[in-house]
Amino acid sequence: MPSVLSSTPTRRSLLAAGGAFGALASAGCVRQARNIAGRDRPEQLSLDVKTIPGDADPFGLATANRLVEALKSVGVAAQLTPLEPEEFYRQVLINHNFDIYVGQFPEQFEFDPDALYPLLHSKFDTEPGWQNPFGFTNLECNDLLESQRTQTGGRRRETVRDLQAHVARTGPFVPIALIDQLTAVRTDRFDGWDPVWPTAPLGLLGLERVADTADTLRLSSTDQRITVNRNPIAAEFRRHGAIIGLLYDPLTRRDGDELIPWLAESVDWERSDDGVEAIVRVRPDLSWHDGTAITAEDIAFTYRFLTDTSLGNAEDPIPTPKFRGRSSLVSEVVVESDSTATISFEDVSREIAPIALTVPLLPEHIWTEKTGPATIAGIEVNSETTEAVVWNNPEPVGSGPLQFESATDGERAAFELFEDYFLVDGRDTEIPEPYASGPAFDRLEIQLAGTDSSTIEIVSIGDADATLSTLGPGVIERINDESALNLITSQSHAFYHLGFNTRRAPLGNPHFRRTVAQLIDKDALVEDVTDGFGEPIASPLAGTEWLAPSLEWDGRDPTVPFFDDGSGELNVTMAREQFTEHGFQYNDEDELVVRNR
Amino acid sequence: MGLLSVLTEVAIFIVSACLVASIAFIGPARLLELRSEAIPRLLDSKRLIAVLLVVLVTNGLIRDATQNLSWVFGWNVTPLIRQIEGGVVIYIQSFATPLLTAYFSYIYVFGYAFLLIFPFLAYLSLSDQTHFRSLVLAYTLNYGLGLLCYLLFIAYGPRNSFGPGLVESLLFDTYPQFQFLTRSVNVPTNVFPSLHTSLSATVALLAFHTRREYPIWLWVSTVLAVSVFISTMYLGIHWLLDVLAGLVLAVVSVEGARRYVKTGSFIGRSSTDSDESAEVRS
């Protein structure tokens, strides 16, 4: 940046002048020289935009590119840094090392508004994972998040509306769009693909076998993370959790609006003094993949472990980077017997509490071994991290219908049917069809490819039955052209958004963030890049029944409308004026300048 | 198997292309001589060949490890490269037509493979084996130095930096099956420098030094090499800077290799004089 380079010699020459004339000049003159030289010159604001490269996320990259170009045109030195998914999430979610990121919310399936609790509550500021990566601190927001937990029905709805309006106004992140999840499937071996969620855990469990010879369900993916890491609590390695959801069963599974008791045989709810209690009875004779019996102790352990992976050994609790919102609902778990546990919820309403039971159950005997500090070659490097959080979990021991078989880093991963699974061992359950008879396949294999078009090629030549990872809109034509391929579009709830690191000036300034939000033409972006398979949004709850009516999209963003010059292009003058209005300055070269960055 | 069928296609093409090129460029006399001479000549260069194989195998084995190391220690130069060169690749792609895309895609996969393999045959057929040794060593240097750069620099290509609407991933969108092949030999962050460029340029540079033996090959290899340079950018895989760095790497590798083969040292006396005389002799 030219201003940086020029500022140093200027200051130096001034000081030199001050020194040379010091002997002759009056004290007043020197004082003035010091006054001038001692002031920091403002420098052009530079911002780095992080995102996942186009092979893995075409829409995110397109969004980031438009943002960078818009920022440049309003005088910000913006640059784009593509990072592979694992690295992206590590830098953004774990290290909080970013200015702005473009990413997707991890909950692909319809989520409860309480998912915003860990995302925005200031108490999660320092925690790694999808816990307030923005470093957002706002008392009003905290109040709204806490109230909605205790409320039910219409009052909660009201609070959630206020919360959305508040988030839209203060803008720690900018919701951009909901992009349909596209899946290419073929139906000659397996059919009954869920029209809504073909590759969700329940979608895969509901498949039926068409060809008698088909024993392996084969999926193609661009996302290599499941081949290197199968740790359910590692936020940077998990996407939407489809495979992990088949390896690790929860107590209850969410199926649309319903919660199906899964590992739990029954859940009875009771009112308590300051909240509610769930009396959970696990199904009899359940075992982990290694044969150890599943007991109520594992329930108690799971919630204790999710809130502190060091189990009290570290100075401060080290919570898991995932499932944090749900684990923070639970206040206590009491083991009543081998099969029964009472889970207590403080200041949480009966309406929200059940979602806490959808976390994966973790085996105590495996994870208690992993509570020590993380080490590299035996040397402790970071006392704020436990082994559990960074463990690759190469051979996961879960309780789900699939167990780990084998994997090759970056190439493939295979899972096989767990023979002792309660849906396949012949017992009667109340689990509804089409899940009641367990998976229709004996193995599940994931095959890696480099780009979305090659994942489709793998399905098209008959080497896989469906695609698992994100497909860009560029491949739709190809899917429609191939008669063997069917396209399933699902409305994803994993909203795309810009995240601001509010810890870094001037991103802590809501006016700045709002003005940046107005640089993006969400409508044009969605139309140009997604071919109609998406919609621009103004609230993270768009696409759910919780959306605040005031934040419905009606051709433009109701809170932060695009600076339109009338022809669909960015009105640069208007944008610059708004920056100036909010106290930002431009130098002679039309660069937006800041001090003390 | 997607990969297997692509591999078969490439293999069939290379064998046939080498057959035709051998007859056209090497000529029956040298080929007849090669029948008896091939083995002793290969044995003469066995140390250099072994080193190349070791580098290639190591490259394959440690690719994942270096990739991980690179993310820890490497310098992500993608934004810098993009800042320096801007939209060169966008400009190049603005000329895209289906015919050009087909040409450059096949050049990138088939043309490149042929360009790399044929010189082995060509130079093994010469009675003066210095060129063969230079070739083997130059390839080794390309891979070795290239790997070092990949460890130091993380860079995504234009298609992964600009993305849809700006730079299209022409090769993989048009011929997704080629992805099975490139994926198994490369990772998307290893673009600086372009090894496609450096190895093709290496072949063309060596062809220049052997223009007396193979005058037409000089022209054929130059046309192919230049096509490969352009294809890497046209297809959205490499930046212009990757290509330029690839050219530098090629010059360094070829000069280094030729010096070493002649003088036994990489930084020995300039080989220009002995170069001329060697060529006159042969």
- A116 vs A473, which has greater pLDDT? A116
Give the pLDDT score at A34. Answer: 79
Q: What's the rounded Cα separation, in Å, for the pair A463 and A219?
A: 9
- Alpha-carbon Rg for chain B, nearest whole angstrom, is 19
Q: What's the rounded Cα separation, in Å, for the pair A476 and A183?
A: 10
Q: What's the rounded Cα separation, in Å, for the pair A345 and A112?
A: 17
- Domain A46-179+493-594 matching CATH 3.10.105: the answer reads yes
Give the pLDDT score at A24. Answer: 52
List phi, psi (to 5°) of B138.
-65, -40
Neighbour count for residue A18 (Cβ, 10 Å):
18
Residue-wise pLDDT tens digits, A518-541: 999 999 999 988 888 899 999 999
Find all residues with CB under 8 Å of A421, minimum gap 6, and list them: A400, A401, A438
Fold classification of A181-247+392-490 is D-Maltodextrin-Binding Protein; domain 2 (3.40.190)
Is the pLDDT assigned to residue A554 strictly greater than 50? Answer: yes
Q: Test A54 with B82 for CB contact under 8 angstroms.
A: no
Cβ-Cβ contacts under 8 Å, B9 against chain A: none
Closest to A150 (Cα-Cα) out of A383, A339, A331: A331
Find all residues with CB under 8 Å of A551, minimum gap 6, and list them: A164, A165, A168, A538, A539, A542, A558, A559
Q: Test A82 with B161 for CB contact under 8 angstroms.
A: yes
Residue-wise pLDDT tens digits, A464-501: 999 998 888 778 888 888 888 999 988 888 999 999 99
Residue ranges of E strands in A428-554: 443-448, 466-467, 486-490, 496-500, 534-536
Q: What's the rounded Cα separation, in Å, for the pair B37 and A450?
A: 43
CA B126 vs CA A42, B115, B129, B213: distances in Å: 67, 18, 6, 8
Q: Report ipTM (2 d.p.).
A: 0.83
Q: How far is B193 from chain A (nearest CA, A)?
A: 18
Residue-wise pLDDT tens digits, A6-47: 444 455 555 554 455 555 556 777 778 777 777 777 889 999
Q: Test A58 with B161 for CB contact under 8 angstroms.
A: no
Residue ranges of E strands in chain B: 75-76, 153-154
Within B125-194, where are the H helices?
130-152, 158-161, 170-174, 177-185
Q: Test B176 with A410 for CB contact under 8 angstroms.
A: no
Is the pLDDT assigned to residue B269 strictly greater than 70? Answer: no
Q: Is A585 left (phi over 0), alpha (psi -120 to 50) or beta?
A: beta
The percentage of chain A sitting over the pLDDT mark of 90, rounded to a whole number, equals: 61
Is the pLDDT assigned to residue B250 strictly greater than 70? Answer: yes
Task: Give the β-pairing of A100-104 and A181-185.
Answer: unpaired
Residue in B with minimal Cα distance to A460:
B2
Is the pLDDT assigned to residue B281 strictly greater than 60? Answer: no
- By the 8 A CB rule, do A226 and A493 touch? no
Is the pLDDT assigned to residue B212 strictly greater than 50? Answer: yes
Give the pLDDT score at A316. Answer: 85
Q: What's the rounded Cα separation, in Å, for the pair A429 and A253?
A: 14
Give the pLDDT score at A409. Answer: 86
Of B1, B64, B78, the CB nearest to A463: B1
Cβ-Cβ contacts under 8 Å, A475 against chain B: 173
Sign of torsion over alpha carbons B212, B217, B223, B228: negative
Of A54, A87, A457, the CB nearest to B163: A54
- By the 8 A CB rule, do A494 and A105 touch? yes
- A379 vs A259, which has greater pLDDT? A259
Q: What's the rounded Cα separation, in Å, for the pair A537 and A523?
A: 9
Is the pLDDT assigned to residue A453 strictly greater than 90? Answer: no
Residue-wise pLDDT tens digits, B143-169: 999 989 999 999 999 988 988 788 888
Quote the mean pLDDT of chain B.
88
Q: State mean pLDDT over B168-172.
A: 85
